[in-house]
């Protein structure tokens, strides 16, 4: 016979978001009907977009290394189903940075602190989102073992984002852990014939030239291009590579033998496919396949945010403030896609409603 659970209100699911950034995961949880009380991050630039777009959730500028379970517990009502979510910075695990010695190395321990907070708080449900490469590392195995030792039911899922209506070729690791019972992700909502594609979500935006800003939306701005890069993008076809260019336009590094193995830069997106993975440098034509499908420019900051499934109305800076490509690009590229956050939220909500129903109490 199953041990009787304490009386919980399955309509009162309350979450806190670790490593919240600009609020992609929080926005998705809110859209799914889960209340979010606070987000924690060390990047002060994220305060305005997080609080402006996700009220009444508050932003706490605090590292997980300086938070205790007792401090977190104060944010949750006594009868709430307590949910703790987060996306520990993935740079140490990402295929884009592996082999590079950077300050990201210091972030390896953040997942361990996430685990420490789970142990101290003992939330009813935990969810973590990260890159699939994390599964190759011992710190991930230790995290799973810790959850199971604490009595959590654990499930892990490699999520291909287009399967859930996200217009981006992005695969993410989503983990769920629950003290209430077995928990799984909701089924995919889209099949390949119904995938959202680039044309579906950005074709309606006003046209821009390289270096231009839309008067109606300051975030709809594209980075400037040199004369050489303008010639390159004019010679680029959607889905093509720099190998299609006239020889004089090919960069010297690509003319070398080893450079020929990196075709996925200086490319245009295709209208009829999901976008490539949006990185923190998506606004640069030379940083990946980030050229607009038909306009001679890289995609704008707003287009990158939309491809990350942020609402078009999402504000990242106050009106009138300077807009930094580097800062906004970092916030957008590092975010959990909003629709993926909603998938996480819907999965948790379905699970809690089932496990806390009167029929489940024996």
82 is catalytic: no
Provide the pLDDT for residue 82.
97
Q: Give the pair of three-digit tokens for residue 3.
A: 């041990």
Compute the distance between CA of residue 78 and CA of residue 349 in angstroms, rounded to an integer: 18
pLDDT at 100: 42
In whole angstroms, what is the distance from residue 8 CA to residue 62 CA? 29
Q: What is the DSSP string of 238-253?
A: BT--GGGS-GGGS-HH
pLDDT tens-digit map of 192-222: 999 999 999 999 999 999 999 999 999 999 9
Locate 208 and state its tokens. 């821009």
Given a cut of 70, whether residue 103 has pLDDT beyond it is no
Quickly count: other Cβ atoms within 10 Å of residue 177's Cβ: 25
Structure pTM?
A: 0.91
Greater confidence, 329 or 266? Answer: 329
Structural domains of the chain in order of their starting residue, each with its CATH number: 13-190+336-360 (3.40.50.150)
Taking CA 37 as the corner, what is the angle to CA 77 and CA 306, rounded to the nearest 5 degrees? Answer: 150
Band of pLDDT at residue 48, cut at 50, 70 and 90: very high
- Report the pLDDT value the prediction gives residue 247, as an integer from 0 to 100: 78
Q: Is 244 exposed, middle or buried (0-12, 13-18, 19+ CB in 10 A)?
A: middle
For residue 105, pLDDT beyond 70: no
Residues 314, 305 contacting (CB under 8 angstroms) = yes
According to DSSP, the β-strands at 58-61 and 81-86 are unpaired
Token pair for residue 329?
């690009």
What beta strand segments (E) does 53-208 contain?
58-61, 81-86, 125-130, 153-160, 171-178
Query: With bands split at pLDDT 50, 70 and 90, how would you rate the model's confidence at 255?
Result: low
The DSSP output letter for 2 is P
Alpha helices in the chain (DSSP H): 24-32, 47-53, 69-73, 110-121, 138-149, 198-202, 227-234, 252-255, 301-307, 325-334, 338-355
Distance CA 215, CA 68 (A): 45
Average pLDDT, the chain: 90
HSE (side-chain half, CA atoms, 13 Å) at 278: 31
Q: Given the residues 90, 214, 253, 356, select the one marked as catalytic.
A: 90
What is the pLDDT averaged over residues 220-242? 91
Select the highest-mean-pLDDT range: 1-10, 97-106, 189-198: 189-198
Q: At what angle do helices 138-149 and 110-121 cross, to 10 degrees?
A: 0
Query: Residue 44 pLDDT > 60, yes or no?
Result: yes
What would the two tokens of residue 176 be? 């769920």
pLDDT of 173: 96
Are 282 and 297 in contact, with CB atoms under 8 Å apart? Answer: no
pLDDT band at 264 (very low <50, low <70, confident <90, very high): low
Residue pointed to by tokens 């928990």: 183
């Amino acid at each position: 016979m199953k041990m009787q659970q304490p009386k919980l209100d399955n309509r009162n699911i309350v979450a806190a978001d670790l490593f919240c950034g600009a609020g992609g995961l929080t926005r998705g949880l809110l859209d799914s009907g889960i209340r979010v009380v606070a987000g924690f991050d060390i990047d002060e630039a994220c305060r305005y977009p997080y609080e402006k777009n996700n009220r009444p959730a508050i932003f706490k500028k605090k590292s997980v290394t300086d938070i205790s379970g007792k401090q977190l517990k104060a944010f949750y009502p006594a009868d709430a189903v307590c949910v703790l979510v987060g996306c520990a910075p993935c740079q140490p695990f990402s295929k884009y940075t592996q082999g590079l010695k950077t300050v990201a190395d210091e972030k390896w321990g953040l997942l361990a602190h996430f685990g420490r907070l789970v142990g101290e708080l003992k939330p009813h449900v935990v969810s973590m989102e990260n890159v699939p490469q994390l599964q190759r590392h011992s710190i991930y195995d230790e995290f799973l073992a810790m959850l199971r030792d604490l009595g959590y039911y654990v499930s892990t899922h490699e999520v291909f984002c287009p399967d859930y209506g996200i217009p981006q070729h992005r695969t993410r690791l989503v983990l769920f852990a629950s003290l209430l019972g077995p928990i799984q992700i909701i089924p995919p909502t889209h099949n390949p014939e119904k995938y959202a594609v680039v044309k579906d979500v950005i074709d309606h935006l006003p046209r821009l030239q390289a270096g231009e800003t839309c008067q109606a939306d300051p975030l709809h701005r594209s980075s400037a291009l040199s004369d050489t890069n303008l010639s390159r993008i004019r010679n680029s076809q959607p889905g093509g590579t720099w190998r299609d260019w006239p020889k004089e336009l090919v960069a010297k590094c690509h003319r070398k033998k080893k450079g020929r193995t990196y075709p996925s830069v200086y490319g245009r997106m295709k209208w009829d496919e999901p976008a490539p993975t949006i990185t923190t440098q998506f606004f640069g034509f030379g940083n990946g396949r980030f050229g607009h499908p038909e306009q001679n420019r890289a995609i704008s900051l707003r287009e990158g945010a939309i491809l990350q499934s942020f609402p078009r109305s999402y504000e990242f800076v106050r009106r009138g403030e300077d807009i930094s490509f580097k800062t906004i690009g970092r916030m957008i590229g590092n975010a959990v896609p909003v629709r993926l956050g909603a998938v996480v939220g819907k999965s948790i909500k379905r699970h809690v409603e089932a496990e806390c129903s009167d029929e489940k109490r024996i």
